[in-house]
Amino acid sequence: MKWFVILLLFVQSVSADTLSEVLSLLHQNTAAKFQYQEIRHLELMTTPWQAQGELYNDANGRLIKLQLQPNRIVMAIADGQMLYWEPAQNQRHTMPLTYEHEATQQIRLFHALLQGHTEELSKDYTFHAEKNAKTWALQLRPKQDDLPKLDISGNADNSQRDMVIHQDSESTEYHIQRVTNDSALDKTVADLLHEAAGE
Amino acid sequence: MSFVWRKRLFLLLFPLLLALTVWQARIESDLNAFFTATTEQDSKLLSQLLQSGELSRRYLLVVDAQNNSNLTPFAANLVQQLAKLEQVEQVWATNEPPRAWLDALSSYAPYHARMFSLNPEQETLFNAQALEKRAAFLKSALLSPQASFIKTIAKQDPLLLSLQGFKTMQSQFAQSSALNKNSVAIILQSKPAALDSAAHQQLQDAIRQCFNQLNQGQSFQLNMSGVPVVSVATYTEINRDVTLVSTVSSLAVVLVFLLLFRSFAALHWVMMIQTASFVVGALAVLAVFGHIHSLTLALGASLVGICVDYPIHIMVHGAKHKTPLQDVVRLLWASLFMGGLTTVIGYVALGFTGFPGFEQIAVFALFSIAASLALTRWLLPALLEHSVLHIAHLPLIGAWVEFCGRWRKVLLPLFVLGTIIALLLMPELRWMNDMQKLAMNMDVIKQQDKAVRSHFANIEPSRFVLIQANDLETALQRSEAAERCLQTLKQQNVLNDYQGLFPWLVSEQLQQKNLETYQQANIQPTWQAALQKQGLSVEKLGVLSNSASVLTKQALPPVVSSILSGRLIESPQGITISIWLGQHDPDKLIAGLQGLDGVRYFSQKDQLDHLAKQYRDSSLKMLAVGIVIMAVFIWLQQRRLKNVLLTLVPSLAAVLFIFAGWAVMGEEISFLHVIGLLLAVSLCVDYGIFFIENRAGDTDVTYHAIASSTLTTLASFGALGLGKTPTLPILAVSVSLGVTVGFLLCPLLISKKT
């Protein structure tokens, strides 16, 4: 029996180490620009819907998702709120991230992962991490049925990530590629925030 | 019963009465119960709107950011914490609809074909181009953060027609969002009635406490406004008035008493009699109404100055003539009784003016005066059996009587001339038509209210379009007709916004029209093509249902009733719907609504002004009725018409001269002025009775006794002048002026010979 307990502790320790390594790879605390491609498989659409654009992250923890194709949409997370602006439909929304609303659920998840704020996810999710010399992977499984589940993977130099969010019968894939680390991005982030807020 | 036993019995009963009053006391602070509660239908509605109307129960809160970031999450957190307070019905930030409202919208999806438009015949929703646009919008919505909400609705209502009518609500939230860049505006709907000041005081403390807890270490600022805020401020002022007036009035009467008799022994017995009378009055009000208003207590305290007249009258005669009080009481009882009766008549007439607060005061006065008279008659001689009484000589009293007697021949023609001039001045009287002038001056609160309201999409709290009908279907049809008119008026810039019941509730008639339009459009093939073009599932979104059961109020979730609580009032008399209005031009709006059945413009201010006019007319009527009844009772006692006239003339002349004075000064006269004069008449008539009967046969002593009474009345009613509530100074001025002029006229108009 003793050897089983020792083995279990060893396995857990290996697993915890892997998880913290993977989480540290996820953590992004400097200004960075990414390109992304998004593919959505929605219940009410016949074909997958595709979009592409840019993601901006700044050192203050602000995140901008700028969709460029098929139409321009600015979605931002800053100062504890989510801003949404779709010029083509003249739709603008502002809502707090603490607001118990499904509308902010996915973007909050996305933001927490990109920022490496996994501690706030741990109350709702269980984590499973894998890592080898070339790639790593992280699975998040919700403790409640109404939350989305998530698979995220990346390469060793962390220049590329793939993320799949599953909810009900729908899923959203993100293929994200780092373009640059640049502190000059702050102005772009500020401009996009103004656009989202309609200022 | 011997004096000793009378005294013992009183000393035994007095603490029991006090204990009973404290035990039974239910003190009411609801201002509505005092000022506007009434039976007339419109006034009742006004009272109901003030009391429990949704807009009246709303707090408007503004959180200012100063230099803080994280305003939105702070406000969201505050909203969550405020929602937990027991007295809060609903609370939401004005930039996003409350979650419960959005949830409620999904229950309308099955009825989409019956509720998409107020004017279904004019809609161009179903042509090919519009349907393509709609499919594009659906796709965009399914990809937006609102996707989860839209998906639930789209499965039952692919064209999202059920959301069509709610677009105006969305624009109202967007408008509010645009008004608040560095602040968050929050609406808090409370549970207690708007004028339940005690409950609102607690709630406001709880709101501030909640905010301060969250704001620790941060520097957000909270500003608050709304009807309950004004109500609490008024309540605080009235409480201050009640305490001040009661204290000063009692002290002033005590001081006058001590100046007159210089006897603490006499003072404490007389004050015990007055306290007992006060307690009897309070117990009577509690027995009749079940509660006593704090303003009744304040105005009741001034009655001490009247009730104390009866013992004073006895004591002055006793002191002057060194006669046992028992004999004086027997001698003067008929005059005292008649004086008390005329005062009661004045107060009872006051109770019939329609002003709800005075009903309590009338009962209070009736029982207090009766108790004071009875205690003076049967107890006072017992209490003061061993007291040696002295009365201070009042300077000029004898001189004035003498002067009036000597110069009567000159003064009387002058009096007649003055009376003629006063009568000629009567048409110059200016009547107060704006009841707001009787409201407390609260400039600071008004400025704060203005600043807070600038953060809100402006819906006026006191002006509505009112729709009335016997049943809900008719009321809804009328309301929809009114909303069509308001839409047109909005396009013409007559009003900037309104909030009606459509589409929260839709009449069956309009539902049928919508359904027919929808069925006739036959859009399924075109819609399917539009879906295909957008890559949306024809299988799941392309099959349109052509029928739906009727949307009824019962089918809707309870939150809808809560949203509409202040706009839909169901009573045994019928249905009342109120459509809330933004800024508007009243005249053009009234003209625009003309000809619509059961629809009218309702302004709380107009209604209050109407009430003020009504109170004024009834107080004038009651002034006349009161005088006639007093005359009848005096005639029953005196049986001489001349004496009746002479008794009444000083008080009537006083009223006439005071009215004339106000006419010259341009004073605006309200019903409160008239009520004050009615009280003055009922008091002055006592002087007339005492003076004309002069039972002691000594005019000087009688006039001294009257002067003493006048001084205590002035002391107690004069104290009302210290109140900040305008009601109190008006009563102070009119009663004080009335009794002073009446007192001065007595020796002029009633000669010693009479």
- Digit-coded pLDDT (tens) for B245-283: 888 888 888 898 888 888 888 888 898 998 999 999 999
Query: Using one digit for the tens of pLDDT, what is the confidence trace for B161-173?
Result: 998 888 877 777 7
- The model's pTM: 0.69
Q: What is the pLDDT of residue B457?
A: 64
Computed over every residue of chain B, the mean pLDDT equals 84
Which residues 97-156 in chain A show a CB within 8 A of chain B? 97-104, 107
Is residue B368 within 8 Å of residue B301, measured between CB atoms? no
Q: What is the pLDDT of residue B700?
A: 78
Q: Which residue has the higher pLDDT, B446 or B690?
A: B690
Residues of B in contact with A103 (CB under 8 A): 145-149
Residue from B585, B560, B475, B500 nearest B168 by CA: B500
- Backbone angles phi and psi of A176, in degrees to 5: -120, 135
DSSP string for B69-82: S-HHHHHHHHHHHH
Place of tokens 């600043």: B451
Q: What is the pLDDT of residue B423?
A: 94
Q: What is the pLDDT of residue A3?
A: 40
- What letter represents residue B288's amino acid? V
Q: How far is A156 from chain B (nearest CA, A)?
A: 32
Query: Using one digit for the tens of pLDDT, what is the confidence trace for B69-125?
Result: 678 778 888 988 999 999 998 888 887 777 778 888 888 999 999 999 999 988 888
How many other C-beta atoms are found inside a 10 Å radius of the C-beta of residue B556? 18
- Of all helices (H) and strands (E), which one includes residue A161? strand A160-167
Q: What is the pLDDT of residue B38?
A: 53
- Backbone angles phi and psi of A68, in degrees to 5: -105, -35
Query: Using one digit for the tens of pLDDT, what is the confidence trace for B571-606?
Result: 777 888 888 888 889 889 999 999 999 998 887 777
- Interface contact B80-A98, CB threshold 8 A: yes
| Spatial distance between the Cα atoms of A55 and A34, rounded to a whole number of angstroms | 5
| Spatial distance between the Cα atoms of A71 and B518, rounded to a whole number of angstroms | 32
Q: What ipTM does the predicted assembly reach?
A: 0.83
Q: What is the pLDDT of residue A46?
A: 92
Residue percentage of chain B with pLDDT more than 70: 92
Q: Does the structure show a pLDDT above 60 at A124?
A: yes
| Burial class of B393 by CB neighbour count within 10 A (0 to 12, 13 to 18, 19+) | exposed
Place of tokens 């027995």: B287
- Interface contact B145-A84, CB threshold 8 A: yes
Q: Does the structure show a pLDDT above 80 at A108?
A: no
Lowest-pLDDT range of B23-32, B188-197, B258-267, B302-311 = B23-32
Q: What is the pLDDT of residue B64?
A: 87
Give the up-direction half-sphere exposure of residue B188: CA atoms within 13 A in the CB hemisphere: 35
Q: Which residue has the higher pLDDT, B98 or B685?
A: B685
Structure tokens at B78: 């505050």
Is residue B312 within 8 Å of residue B705, measured between CB atoms? yes
- Interface contact A45-B177, CB threshold 8 A: no
Query: Using one digit for the tens of pLDDT, what is the confidence trace for A9-21?
Result: 333 444 557 787 8
Q: Which of A100-109, B383-392, B493-502 has the highest mean pLDDT?
A: B493-502
Cβ neighbours for B346, distance < 8 A, ≥ 6 positions apart: B626, B630, B678, B679, B681, B682, B683, B685
| Spatial distance between the Cα atoms of B697 and B686, rounded to a whole number of angstroms | 17
Instruction: Give me the mean pLDDT over the A108-127 stretch.
Output: 77
Q: Which residue has the higher pLDDT, A74 or A183?
A: A74
Taking CB atoms and an 8 Å cut-off, how many pairs form between chains A and B? 88
Q: What is the pLDDT of residue A183?
A: 60
| Spatial distance between the Cα atoms of A134 and A125, rounded to a whole number of angstroms | 26
* Interface contact B268, partner A, CB < 8 A: no
Residue from B308, B323, B376 nearest B696 by CA: B323
Q: Does the structure show a pLDDT above 80 at A69?
A: yes
- Backbone angles phi and psi of B397, in degrees to 5: -65, -55
Structure tokens at A61: 């923890």
Across the interface, of B77, B140, B181, the residue whose CB is closest to A89 is B140
What's CA B209's distance to the chain center, in Å? 29
Name the DSSP class of B393.
P
Q: How far is A94 from chain B (nearest CA, A)?
A: 8
Q: What is the pLDDT of residue A11?
A: 37
- Identify the band that residue B40 occupies on the pLDDT scale cut at 50, 70 and 90: low
- Identify the band that residue A8 occupies on the pLDDT scale cut at 50, 70 and 90: very low
Residue from B360, B353, B257 nearest B311 by CA: B257
Query: Using one digit for the tens of pLDDT, what is the confidence trace for B502-546?
Result: 989 999 999 999 999 998 888 889 999 999 999 999 999 998 877
Residue from B727, B628, B743, B751 nearest B294 by CA: B727
Strands B430-431 and B668-669: parallel
Length of chain B: 754
Q: Does the structure show a pLDDT above 50 at A4?
A: no
| Spatial distance between the Cα atoms of B7 and B11, rounded to a whole number of angstroms | 6
| Spatial distance between the Cα atoms of B746 and B707, rounded to a whole number of angstroms | 11
What's CA B555's distance to the chain center, in Å? 38
Instruction: Give me the mean pLDDT over the B136-141 stretch.
Output: 90
DSSP string for B631-668: HHHHHHHH--HHHHHHHHHHHHHHHHHHHHHHHHHTPE
Is residue B135 within 8 Å of residue B530, measured between CB atoms? yes
User: What's the longest Cα–Cα distance across chain A?
Assistant: 66
Q: What is the pLDDT of residue B421?
A: 95
Lowest-pLDDT range of B12-26, B553-567, B624-638 = B553-567
For chain B, percent helix, then strand, then coil, each to nearest 5? Answer: 70, 10, 25
